[in-house]
Structure 1
Amino acid sequence: MRTLLVGLLLLTAACRRPSTQLAAMMTPVNQPSDFSQYLKAGDELIAMGNDPSWSLTINPSKGVLRFKTLAGDSLVTAVPERQTDSNGTFRYTAGEESEKINALFRPESCVDKLSGQRFDYRVEVTFRGKSYAGCGASLRQLALLNDIWVLSSFHGNPIAAGGPRNELPRLEISLSEGRVTGTTGCNRLSGTIKADTQTILFGPLITTRMACAGDVGQFESKFLQEFTDPLAYQVSEGKLTLLRAGKPIMVFRKVD
């Protein structure tokens, strides 16, 4: 009886506390960073770094540049004119005398050492005689995802409307809310979404339970399967292209 009791206690502990190996297996890899809070605020450019911790946001819609450090240094000022070089480097200079700030964005891949987040710019900031180094991103491209997109091709093949409603698969993306809704062409879908400047992750997605007969049902399964892993994306000329290993998987067109 004592042996049985000890075994049950060990089993209970194992169920409550998964092993490190199991936890690692359950942790998604290559997930995009979450910029939803910045999109909700209307920020267009962001940068951050460590040693000491600092952050910079530029919000053109509100006309505000904000800089702050964990050490207490901070500045809130009007967004200055952007100065751009031929190599894609750009800078902002604002303030006067002791309150002058310079922020330089270089188009180089940059990974934040503390969070592991990937960014598109290496950023250097000088303020009050101190220098700060870190990473940054432009959210212009990311903000373009916030729209309604209708599927036009799947693995290079054009898509026709079908299903009981005679409609095309559609995605309505709201990154600021972290939500996606739409249709598979038969069933309604909804779920979570997260994206950074290069990668997008859908799901988990849930759908209604309407029966989809024939080709429509077979396509729905293939369509949903493509959203199980992170995908690269491109937005241009009213088209959203989702890619895997550099190859286009699905192309959506923007709904006006």
Structure 2
Amino acid sequence: MWLISLISCNRSALPSTKTADAKKAPVAPLPEAAQWRAKRQTGIDFVAAGITPSEWSMDIDFSRQILFKPYSSATLVAEMPKPQPIGKRSGVLLDARVGGGLVATASRRSYAANRPSRMKVYIEPTAARDNLTGRTYAYTVRVDANGRRYQGYGSFIKGSDRLDGTWTLETFKGQRVRAGQFPSNELPQLMIDLSDNKVEGTTGCNKLKGEIIADGDHVQFTVKNTTNKKCANPFEETYLEALQQSTLFRIGKDRLTLLANGQYVMTLTKAP
């Protein structure tokens, strides 16, 4: 299960070019960027919140604990359990015992011992929408606690740490691709360098160069230019458009999945 694998992991100049027709302008940094940066510094790996505004939030440190904060009742703290695989979509269940430690009161000003109980957290790789902002997130999260079920969205806020490197196209819109179908007889690739927010790569015909913005599991590619080699390659335009429409990603077992409008667009594998 690649989601369990992901959780475990958390414990030269181009020739003459033409300017690509960008389908959308680069996005601004995420509204949560500063908050996520602060949480990463305290060891938080995954965050979640309720689809209904101001209902609940959750911080998970996969090496330590789960902190669940329903805004109408006491905050629950649970030691991190062993993730269990669920369903056919490579989701995970965190079946945690609450009460082995301390539970914060709703005011978050004091802590009190709590009777032992259980909290079940389901993380599934299905896109979910924040009703308040309209933004789409890469994971659906359900929480069973306090005798009720909470539903929301979640993000691996350290996900972008694993984007750097060379990625080779594996599937595109559900179809596996082969080197022989491209004029170059080579699979398209992306070379990502987040330290400079740069992306370079190939389309199976031309080379590309552009920019990338990524935080957590949100991403935006902007292709600035490509080489101008003439190829009988109708795939290229569709590929560049899909790349620039991608807004979310998931990484697991050296496989990168890009999503647009919450739907799978392409998968790429990490080069050795």
Q: 1:253 to 1:48 in 2, by over 3 A?
A: closer
Matches within 5 A, 1:118-133: 119-126=139-146, 133=150
Corresponding residue for residue 214 of structure 1 = 230
Paired positions, count: 213
**Counterpart in the other structure of 1:7:** none
Q: What's the Cα RMSD here? A: 5.4
- Report matched runs for 1:181-200 at 5 Å: 181-184=199-202, 186-193=207-214
Amino acid across the alignment from 1:227: L
Aligned to 1:11: none
The letter of the residue matching 1:214 is K
What code does the residue aligned with 2:224 have?
I
Name the structure 2 match of 1:54: 56
Change (3 A) 1:162 1:183: farther
What stretches of structure 1 of length at least 5 have no aligned partner? 1-25, 28-32
Match status 1:254 vs 2:270: yes
Structure 1 CA distance for aligned equivalents of residues 71 and 48 of structure 2:
14
Is the radius of gyration larger for structure 1 or structure 2?
A: 1
Question: What does residue 106 of structure 2 align with?
Answer: none
Partner of 1:5: none
Q: Does 1:80 align with 2:80?
A: yes
SS of 1:228's equivalent in the other structure is helix
| Partners of 1:115 and 1:195 in 2: CA distance | 17
Give the number of the structure whose residues are more often helix, by fraction: 1
Alignment of 1:1-256 (within 5 A): 37=36, 41=40, 43-49=44-50, 53-61=55-63, 63-68=64-69, 74=75, 79-82=79-82, 84=84, 89-96=93-100, 98-100=112-114, 102-106=118-122, 112-116=130-134, 117=136, 119-126=139-146, 133-137=150-154, 139=156, 146-148=163-165, 149-151=167-169, 156-159=176-179, 169-172=189-192, 179=197, 181-184=199-202, 186-193=207-214, 202-207=220-225, 211-215=227-231, 221-230=237-246, 238-240=254-256, 250-256=266-272
> How big is the shift at 1:254?
0.8
Shift of 1:59: 0.8
Q: Deviations over 1:96-133 (max 9, x none)?
A: 4843374322467765544455542221334xxx9783
* Greater relative contact order, per chain length (Cα 8 Å cut-off, separation 6+): 2
TM-score (normalised: structure 2): 0.50
Q: Deviations over 1:163-218 (max 9, x none)?
A: 8xx995324275xx89562223524322334775xxx75333323x6x43232997
Deviation at 1:251, TM superposition (A): 4.5
C-alpha separation in 2, matches of 1:182 and 1:231: 18
Gaps of 5+ in 2: 1-23, 103-111
